[in-house]
Amino acid sequence: EDIRAVGTFGPGDVMGMATVVAYGLVAASGLALARSGEVPRLQRPLAAVCAAALLVPLALSFSRGAWIATAAVL
C-alpha cells in the first residue's frame, strides 16, 4: 500500500500539490543559479536552501509525472 502525503481530509488533489511544489522548485532553482549581479547577494543561497527544501514534498507526493516534468524543466 502506498502512503502519500495528504492533508487532514484525505487526498484531495495530490497532482495539484505536486505541481505547485514543482513550480516553486523551478523558480527557486532559477534564482539560485542566476548570475551574481542579477539578484541580491543573500537571495542566491536562500533560494538554494528553498529549492533543496522543496525536494522533500515533491518526493513525498509520489507523483512520477511531476518528477519527470520537474527534471525536464531543470
Give the pLDDT confidence score for residue 69 in this predicted structure. Answer: 83
The answer to whether residue 4 sits within a structural domain is no
The answer to whether residue 49 sits within a structural domain is yes
Rounded Cα distance, 58 and 45, in Å: 20
Give the pLDDT confidence score for residue 9 in this predicted structure. Answer: 66
Per residue of the chain (74 residues), give pLDDT as tens.
667 666 676 666 667 778 888 888 888 988 888 887 888 888 888 888 988 988 888 888 888 888 888 888 88
Q: Which domain holds residue 23?
A: 14-73
Give the pLDDT confidence score for residue 71 in this predicted structure. Answer: 86
Give the pLDDT confidence score for residue 65 in this predicted structure. Answer: 81
Rounded Cα distance, 63 and 21, in Å: 11
The answer to whether residue 9 sits within a structural domain is no
